[in-house]
Amino acid sequence: MPRPKTHDEALRLRLLDRAGELLSREGATALSLRKLAADAGTSTTAVYSLFGGKPALVRELYVEAFRRLGGRLRAVAPTDDPAEDLIRLGLAYRESALADPHLYGVMFGGAVPGFEPDEAATAQSRAALAPLLEVIATGTRAGVFTDHDGTMAMGCWGIVHGLVSLELCGNLPPEIDVPTTYERALRANTAGWTRVR
């Protein structure tokens, strides 16, 4: 009779853990199946039985990365000042990206050549931004924001992602003070969405 699935969760978790560590430490190009398998004490075939290939394994890292980002954003407790909450969300976003730049590259940079997120994965990525949508919704209800059908959320996500991405790629001039400039840019963008100043 057909033997049921083994559900080797231990090896699966160890592979994911090692893959994440290898990615964070040596970058996306150093994340090879042979090195990963040797690190986890198994063979490359295990990745194919447990995940289905390298892109599928990276997909797990992808959703885990957004789960972690969502956790960091949810940790920003809302106050009764939505504009300030928005700034703190932006700062938390940057801290999350800087905590693991290579993982951020997997999320947005397309660091692993064969991997393209499917619709379910990108939907989960948007779900990580729930705290942002919530702050904007309350601020709009309170009359301090002038949102327009979720346009403000896209703008805010765009500026934080853009600045973080430029910083990680090394495109910003080296003489500027990134943290203060980053916060000033966030405040200006937020001011553009507030009703009266």
45 binds DNA (CB under 7 A): yes
Sign, Cα dihedral of 7, 106, 87, 181: positive
Site map for its own copies, 14-43, x if CB under 8 A?
--------------xx--------------
User: Please, which residue, 93 or 115, has the CB nearer to DNA?
Assistant: 115
- Please report, as residue ranges, which positions from 96 to 125 form the binding site for DNA (by CB under 7 A): 114
- For residues 58 and 77, give the distance between their C-alpha atoms in angstroms, rounded to a whole number: 31
Query: Taking the complex as a whole, how short is the minimal distance between the CB of residue 45 and its own copies, in angstroms?
Result: 23
Site map for its own copies, 160-179, x if CB under 8 A?
xxxx-xx--xxxxx--x---
Which parts of the chain are beta strand (E)?
none
Spatial CB neighbours of 78, under 8 Å, sequence gap ≥ 6: 85, 134, 135, 138
- For residues 89 and 77, give the distance between their C-alpha atoms in angstroms, rounded to a whole number: 9
CA 150 to chain centre: 20
53 binds DNA (CB under 7 A): yes
DSSP 8-state secondary structure symbol assigned to residue 95: H
User: Please, which residue, 117 or 131, has the CB nearer to DNA?
Assistant: 117
End-to-end CA distance of the chain, in Å?
Answer: 73
User: Please, which residue, 43 or 181, has the CB nearer to DNA?
Assistant: 43
189 binds its own copies (CB under 8 A): yes
Query: Taking the complex as a whole, how short is the minimal distance between the CB of residue 121 and DNA, in angstroms?
Result: 16
2 binds its own copies (CB under 8 A): no
Phi then psi for residue 115, to 5 deg, are -95, 125
48 binds DNA (CB under 7 A): yes
User: Please, which residue, 24 or 42, has the CB nearer to its own copies?
Assistant: 24
Token digits of residue 140:
């709009």
Burial 25-49 (b: 16+ CB within 10 A, else e): eeebeebebeebbeebebeeebbee
108 binds its own copies (CB under 8 A): yes
DSSP 8-state secondary structure symbol assigned to residue 128: T
Binding stretches for its own copies (CB under 8 A): 28-29, 105, 108-111, 113-114, 117, 122, 125-126, 148-152, 154-155, 157-163, 165-166, 169-173, 176, 181, 184-185, 187-193, 197
